[in-house]
């Protein structure tokens, strides 16, 4: 049975920055509160569509693997913030890339979308059903944000990453993985007022409100990611000493510290970029992976542990054995269309819309 080697990787982060201080201009919050509770200093705001970010990240990943889009036979796109319900975003990305031989599937498991995709893609390659798969994870979460809810608005940002996995005889890629879901607690993170579960006849329809049990999710995230990590190490017959780097979901620096403590690994072995981007949901792991490679944090043959947690409440972990190559075969200069606006300017009309709606609801 072949392995699924990661042969390409890429990221796309939008240029417009939204700093903690910018949020404090219209929400009752402060840089001090956000930094001490989450470690986040700033996040990015997208000025186009999720598919545009996915296209750019994918072009980088395809170049790194030196593959033509026509060689890809499946695209798995993890996201909860699709361009549209129909067509699915994976199809839009396939068309933009010219990946005419690829099947295209969206995976909505929220923050775990990329890890779920890598688990599924790896196993499809192992069975021989597919040979070359593009796995994408990304989010345009600012589009779905309720900017009057300070307890969530400060946590999230937009970004996207992608990897190419290819059938290989050498023992590399995701060598052990486990995914799961604590569905009994599904409403601990909930985005309301969009979808067929909500009546179109109410004034609230399409005004998203987030139900968000932050402390409950925090506790469950640490526990589930630690357990899934232990399970994949067991599966692979390895221990934490074999792991060179942990590339976890980036939701909150305090969650990362608690995870490191619970699994018993030193904090310097945990890759962290949550301070720059906030929680980009399905985008966090592939973006962190691409940055870990850019920063020479991954060496040939290293074992990398990934762990994730998100709405659903979905969770998972994967153990990756990196191949012999840690640099792209070809570099690529694809980028998003230029953006003249600041993060604050992009969201301004959206913020006003929510302000107006909450005033109307009160009166
Ligand atoms: C959300 C989270 C940062 C909150 O941190 P916390 O330490 O649990 O904070 P609390 O919820 O106890 O809130 C403490 C106080 O800060 C206030 N507060 C909440 N958001 C605030 C903000 N943006 N600015 C200032 N104050 C805020 C609360 O109203 C509360 O005030 P009170 O004590 O007067 O009631 C943290 O629980 C978390 O990261 N949870 C998991 C994140 C998550 O779910 N990610 C998505 C899935 S991975």
* CA distances from residue 218 to 112, 193, 223 in whole angstroms, order as listed: 15, 24, 9
Q: Which atom of ligand 1 is nearest to the CA of 221?
A: 48
- Residue 350 known to be catalytic: no
Tell me, in angstroms, the distance from the centre of ligand 1 to residue 322's CA.
Answer: 37
First to last CA, the chain: 64
Burial class of residue 97, CB neighbours in 10 A (0-12, 13-18, 19+) = buried
Superfamily of segment(s) 3-362: Thiolase/Chalcone synthase (3.40.47.10)
Which pLDDT belongs to residue 17? Answer: 98
Which pLDDT belongs to residue 149? Answer: 93
Rounded to whole angstroms, how far apart are CA atoms 333 and 59?
Answer: 9
Say which of 47, 60, 119, 249 is annotated catalytic. Answer: 249
Q: Is the CB of 38 under 6 A from ligand 1?
A: yes
Which pLDDT belongs to residue 222? Answer: 97
Tell me, in angstroms, the distance from the centre of ligand 1 to residue 260's CA.
Answer: 21
Give the residues of the chain that fall short of pLDDT 50.
none
- Residue 111 known to be catalytic: yes
Which pLDDT belongs to residue 271? Answer: 98
Which pLDDT belongs to residue 206? Answer: 80
Burial class of residue 119, CB neighbours in 10 A (0-12, 13-18, 19+) = buried
Which pLDDT belongs to residue 169? Answer: 95
Which pLDDT belongs to residue 215? Answer: 93
- Residue 12 known to be catalytic: no
Rounded to whole angstroms, how far apart are CA atoms 310 and 318?
Answer: 15
The residue whose C-alpha atom lies closest to atom 17 belonging to ligand 1 is 151
**pTM (2 d.p.):** 0.96
Q: Is the CB of 310 under 6 A from ligand 1?
A: yes
The tens digit of pLDDT for each residue in 281-336 reads: 999 999 999 999 999 999 999 999 999 999 999 999 999 999 999 999 999 999 99
């Amino acid at each position: 049975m072949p392995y699924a080697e990661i042969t390409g990787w890429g990221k796309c982060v939008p240029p417009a920055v939204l700093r903690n201080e910018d949020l404090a201009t219209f929400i009752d919050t402060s840089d001090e509160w956000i930094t001490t509770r989450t470690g986040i200093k700033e996040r990015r705001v997208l000025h186009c569509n999720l598919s545009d970010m996915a296209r750019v990240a994918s072009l980088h990943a395809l170049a790194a693997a030196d593959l033509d889009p026509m060689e890809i036979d499946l695209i798995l796109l993890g996201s909860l913030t699709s361009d549209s319900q129909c067509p699915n975003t994976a199809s839009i990305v396939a068309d933009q890339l010219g990946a005419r031989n690829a099947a295209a599937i969206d995976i909505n498991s929220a923050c775990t979308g990329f890890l779920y995709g890598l688990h599924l893609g790896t196993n499809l390659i192992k069975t021989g059903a597919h040979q070359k798969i593009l796995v994408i994870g990304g989010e345009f979460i600012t589009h779905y944000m309720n900017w009057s809810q300070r307890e969530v608005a400060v946590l999230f940002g937009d970004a996207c990453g992608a990897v190419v996995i290819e059938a290989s005889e050498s023992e590399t890629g995701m060598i052990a993985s486990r995914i799961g879901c604590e569905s009994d607690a599904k409403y601990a993170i909930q985005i309301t007022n969009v979808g067929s579960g909500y009546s179109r006849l109410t004034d609230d329809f399409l005004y998203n409100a987030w139900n968000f049990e932050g402390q409950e999710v925090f506790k469950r995230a640490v526990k589930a990611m630690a357990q899934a990590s232990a399970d994949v190490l067991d599966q692979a017959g390895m221990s934490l000493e074999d792991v060179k780097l942990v590339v976890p979901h980036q939701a909150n620096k305090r969650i990362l510290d608690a995870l490191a403590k619970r699994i018993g690994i030193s904090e310097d072995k945990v890759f962290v970029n949550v301070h720059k981007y906030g929680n980009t949901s399905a985008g966090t792991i592939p973006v962190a992976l691409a940055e870990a490679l850019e920063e020479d944090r991954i060496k040939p043959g290293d074992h990398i542990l990934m762990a994730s947690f998100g709405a659903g409440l979905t969770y998972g972990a994967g153990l990756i054995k990196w191949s012999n190559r840690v640099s792209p075969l070809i570099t690529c200069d694809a980028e998003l269309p230029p953006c003249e606006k600041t993060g604050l300017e992009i969201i301004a009309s959206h913020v006003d819309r929510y302000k107006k709606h909450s005033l109307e609801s009160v009166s």
